[in-house]
């Protein structure tokens, strides 16, 4: 193996701007990521040229066909950042080519697709993980460490909320064309929030809840976006409220999300932000902020970005010293992948954990299509 893990990136869309900094050589020393970007692939030649110039990648290592990139023996590992319906095809090809694989969420459209990828990785003895940066958001990492030490006792309840604005004070301007696939049935079950972005939330909830989710109930309302030049409003899958139940019905979690025509928040990324409460047997943890900057420098109300908690003696504590920038979670997640390749330790998410979270997401969508009924996880045996 080379001194540095040599990475190829397949797909250079919007989210790649948060994956690429992990391989910025000027940042590697401080971030301690011993890897370099050596090859890239995208059908957009203009985007290929931009990234190639930024990362000093020769034209000979820029591809429009992922198969050509996978043939290169100078590539040790690949990051796959393409629409969900292409994941199985490319991941299986990468496994057969002997590459270590980091696959962006959502890993698959069905459990059988996920199983095919897991089998290919096992048969070819390659490192395979699903990229899930929310578990590497530093306030969430701090909160999980507190949960694992028993500071608040066993988790009994989680409330996770996301707020979004079609327009906000600042944030990415994402062209409709670049995200249109998320509104299709074939590519994303017409569920950009419940299934796609929701994968992050299902992941964090199942992580912090510390016991298996038994069933899901999803209520869904109606929100339409009016876009200039398009005569018919575009239907989103928000607002919604998901209830995750355990076999012990005293333990549960909720996820609620709403999109508004305007929301008074700043963001360096998507114009949304999150807030989480974790209630335990003998304490509680509150985590303002994640994707956006709504709570940055908040001197009143919910509090600043970071972690705030109340212990069994009724005393309040805060830690806002960690890096709360959402972009840092991508770097942390990439670092975990590279370390996993070098040490042989399974990087998060393991294929098995990723499959379980996929099953939760499929369950949540199925509930919306069956009159918001409670759907047991065991009912999901493949797709919807």
We report the CATH number of the domain holding residue 169 as 3.30.360.10
Compare 365 and 225 and report the one with higher pLDDT: 365
Domain of residue 192, residue span = 135-329+361-369
In 191-306, beta strands by DSSP E: 215-220, 223-225, 234-236, 240-245, 252-263, 272-280, 284-288
Q: What is the pLDDT of residues 54-111, one digit of tens each?
A: 999 999 999 999 999 999 999 999 999 999 999 999 999 999 999 999 999 999 999 9
Compare 50 and 176 and report the one with higher pLDDT: 50
Does 66 share its domain with 123? yes
Confidence of residue 2 (pLDDT cuts 50, 70, 90): low
Does 231 share its domain with 171? yes
- What is the 8-class DSSP label of residue 313? T
Q: Which of 115, 132, 149 is the endpoint of a domain?
A: 132
Task: State pTM to two decimals.
Answer: 0.96
Copy the structure tokens of residue 334. Answer: 């990439």
Q: How far is CA 138 from the centre of its chain?
A: 14
Q: Residues 270-296: what's their mean pLDDT?
A: 97
Q: 78: which strand partners? A: 8, 101
Q: Which long-range contacts (CB under 8 A, 24 or more apart) does 107-111 make?
A: 107/354, 107/355, 107/358, 108/84, 108/358, 109/84, 109/85, 109/187, 109/189, 109/383, 110/362, 110/382, 110/383, 111/355, 111/358, 111/359, 111/362, 111/380, 111/381, 111/382, 111/383
Contact between 272 and 164 (Cβ < 8 Å): yes
Does 144 share its domain with 270? yes
Per-residue pLDDT for 222 more than 60?
A: yes
Q: Which of 114, 132, 150 is the endpoint of a domain?
A: 132
Compare 175 and 236 and report the one with higher pLDDT: 236
Report the pLDDT value the prediction gives residue 31, as an integer from 0 to 100: 61
Per-residue pLDDT for 189 more than 80?
A: yes
Report the pLDDT value the prediction gives residue 240, as an integer from 0 to 100: 99
Asked if the structure places residue 13 within a domain, the reply is yes
Report the pLDDT value the prediction gives residue 27, as an integer from 0 to 100: 63
Does 117 share its domain with 150? no
Q: What is the pLDDT of residues 271-283, one digit of tens each?
A: 999 999 999 999 9
Does 203 share its domain with 271? yes
Compare 296 and 48 and report the one with higher pLDDT: 48
Report the pLDDT value the prediction gives residue 233, as an integer from 0 to 100: 85
Tokens 């066993």 map to which residue?
154
pLDDT > 70 fraction of the chain, expressed in percent and rounded:
97
Report the pLDDT value the prediction gives residue 297, as an integer from 0 to 100: 84
Distance CA 118, CA 128 (A): 8
Asked if the structure places residue 258 within a domain, the reply is yes
Q: Which of 132, 153, 172 is the endpoint of a domain?
A: 132
Mean pLDDT score of the chain:
95
Does 50 share its domain with 94? yes
If one counts every other C-beta atom within 10 angstroms of the C-beta of residue 221, the result is 11
Q: Residues 226-244: what's their mean pLDDT?
A: 88
Asked if the structure places residue 273 within a domain, the reply is yes
Does 208 share its domain with 298? yes
Per-residue pLDDT for 250 more than 90?
A: yes
Return the CATH number at 114. Answer: 3.40.50.720
Does 210 share its domain with 308? yes
Report the pLDDT value the prediction gives residue 174, as an integer from 0 to 100: 78
Domain count, the chain: 2
Q: Residues 189-194: what's their mean pLDDT?
A: 96
Does 193 share its domain with 294? yes
Asked if the structure places residue 242 within a domain, the reply is yes
Q: What is the pLDDT of residues 3-18, one digit of tens each?
A: 899 999 999 999 999 9
| Residue 140 half-sphere exposure toward CB, CA atoms < 13 A | 29
Confidence of residue 225 (pLDDT cuts 50, 70, 90): confident
Does 203 share its domain with 126? no
Distance CA 290, CA 133 (A): 11
Does 163 share its domain with 84? no
Asked if the structure places residue 58 within a domain, the reply is yes
Contact between 12 and 42 (Cβ < 8 Å): yes
Does 116 share its domain with 128? yes
Q: What is the pLDDT of residues 132-167, one digit of tens each?
A: 999 999 999 999 999 999 999 999 999 999 999 989
């Amino acid at each position: 193996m080379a001194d540095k893990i040599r990475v190829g990136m397949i797909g250079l869309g919007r989210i790649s701007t948060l994956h690429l900094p992990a391989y910025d050589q000027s940042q590697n020393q401080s971030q301690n990521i011993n890897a370099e970007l050596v090859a890239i692939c995208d059908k957009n030649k203009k985007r290929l040229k931009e990234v190639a110039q930024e990362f000093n990648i020769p034209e000979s290592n820029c591809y429009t066909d992922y198969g050509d990139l996978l043939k290169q023996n100078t590539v040790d590992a690949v990051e796959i950042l393409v629409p969900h319906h292409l994941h199985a095809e490319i991941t299986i090809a990468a496994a057969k080519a002997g590459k270590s694989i980091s696959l962006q969420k959502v890993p698959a459209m069905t459990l059988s697709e996920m199983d095919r990828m897991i089998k290919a990785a096992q048969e070819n003895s390659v490192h395979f993980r699903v990229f899930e940066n929310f578990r590497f958001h530093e306030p969430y990492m701090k909160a999980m460490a507190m949960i694992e030490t028993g500071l608040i006792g066993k988790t009994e309840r989680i409330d996770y909320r996301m707020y979004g604005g079609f327009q906000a004070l600042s944030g990415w301007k994402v062209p409709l064309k670049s995200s249109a696939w998320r509104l299709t049935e074939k590519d994303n079950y017409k569920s950009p929030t419940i299934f796609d972005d929701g994968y992050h939330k299902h992941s964090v909830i199942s992580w912090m809840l510390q016991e298996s989710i038994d069933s899901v109930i999803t209520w869904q309302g109606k929100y339409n976006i009016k876009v200039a030049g398009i005569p018919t409003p575009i239907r989103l899958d928000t607002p919604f409220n998901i209830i995750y139940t355990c076999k012990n019905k005293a333990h549960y979690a909720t996820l609620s999300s709403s999109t508004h025509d305007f929301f008074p928040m700043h963001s360096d990324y998507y114009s949304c932000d999150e807030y989480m409460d974790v209630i335990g047997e003998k304490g509680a943890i509150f985590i303002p902020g994640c994707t956006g900057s709504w709570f940055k420098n908040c001197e009143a109300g919910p509090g600043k970005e970071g972690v705030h908690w109340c212990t069994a003696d009724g005393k309040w504590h805060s830690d806002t010293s960690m890096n709360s920038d959402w972009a840092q979670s991508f770097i942390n997640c990439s670092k975990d992948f590279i370390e996993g390749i070098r040490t042989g330790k399974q990087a998060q998410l393991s294929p098995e954990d990723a499959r379980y979270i996929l099953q939760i997401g499929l369950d949540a969508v199925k509930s919306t299509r069956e009159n918001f009924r409670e759907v047991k996880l065991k009912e999901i045996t493949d797709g919807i």
